[in-house]
Each structure stands twice: as C-alpha cells, then as structure tokens.
Amino acid sequence: MYYWVMLALAVVAEVVSTVGMKYASTSSPVFGYIVMALMISLSFYAFSRAVVHIPLAVSYAIWEGLGLFLIGVAGVVLFGEYLSTGEMFAIALMLVGLLLVTFDKGKPAAEQDNMVAAKIAVQPALKPAVVARTQTHTVATRQLGEVAL
C-alpha cells in the first residue's frame, strides 16, 4: 500500500509542478519557479520509492498517464484552455491503455523464475561463468525490492 501511496503522491506533485510552471511563465515567475522546483523534486523522490515495489512499466504508465489527464483538466479549469474533440479522444484512449496496463496481472514471479531455470537447463552449452552471472542477476533483482533507502 505504501508504494501505491507514493505513486499517487508522485502524480499529484507532478501536476502541481506543471501548474507552477504555467504560473512561472505567466503571472508569478518567482512563486511559480519555487513551486515547480519543490514539487518536481518531490515527484521524482516519490516515484523512485514507488518503483521499488511496483514494476517500472506500470508505475511509469500511471505516473505519466494520470499526470497528463490531470494536467489537461487543470489547464481547462485553472487557465481556461480549450481541448478539441480530437485531444479529448486521445486522452480518453490513453486512459483506456493505462487501465489495461495497470490491471494486467502478467505471469506470477514463481512462473517467471521457472522459465529462467528452464532456459538455463535447455542450454547446457552455456559456460559456467555465464550461468553464474545469470543466477546472480536473478538474486540481485529479487533483493532490490528489499533495499531500504
């Protein structure tokens, strides 16, 4: 749950940062740049925490997809910008793709480990050093999610 909260925080901070960017370019440069710098830093930090547990492809799709949608809404609501029918359709299509990426469960980790072991077993011609590096890489990948920063 913590990682999903961090991802949500990353999305919100990105949207606030982009709104700050708009303010920096229009009415309040100093305030806008301060908000932009602080919020984009928070966004990247929160995103880096989220990808410890959530797969990178899924978390990035959510981060950017929801961010683009909410930035479009902010542009319309806060700045009176206009979105054409084609632009709204493109955003809706992107949200459908985001839902497909987010809710696809993929293969369980145990099944993926079995596939890696099967590939190694099928290719006996591999040098032992290559097999050892492959096995070390698999172990390092599993332990990455347990690193406390």
To the nearest whole percent, how much of the chain has pLDDT over 90? 52
What pLDDT is recorded for position 81?
A: 92
What pLDDT is recorded for position 85?
A: 93
94 pLDDT above the threshold of 50:
yes
107 pLDDT above the threshold of 80:
no
Selected residue with higher pLDDT from 28 and 129: 28
pTM: 0.67
Where does the pLDDT of residue 72 fall: very low under 50, low under 70, confident under 90, or very high at 90 and above?
very high
- CA dihedral in degrees (62, 65, 71, 74; nearest 10)? -80
Could you tell me the residue ranges of all domains in the chain? 2-103, 109-144
The closest of 136, 143, 147, 66 to 101, measured between CA atoms, is 66
Residue with the two structure tokens 């830093």? 41
Q: Is the dihedral of CA 120, 123, 124, 125 positive or negative?
A: negative
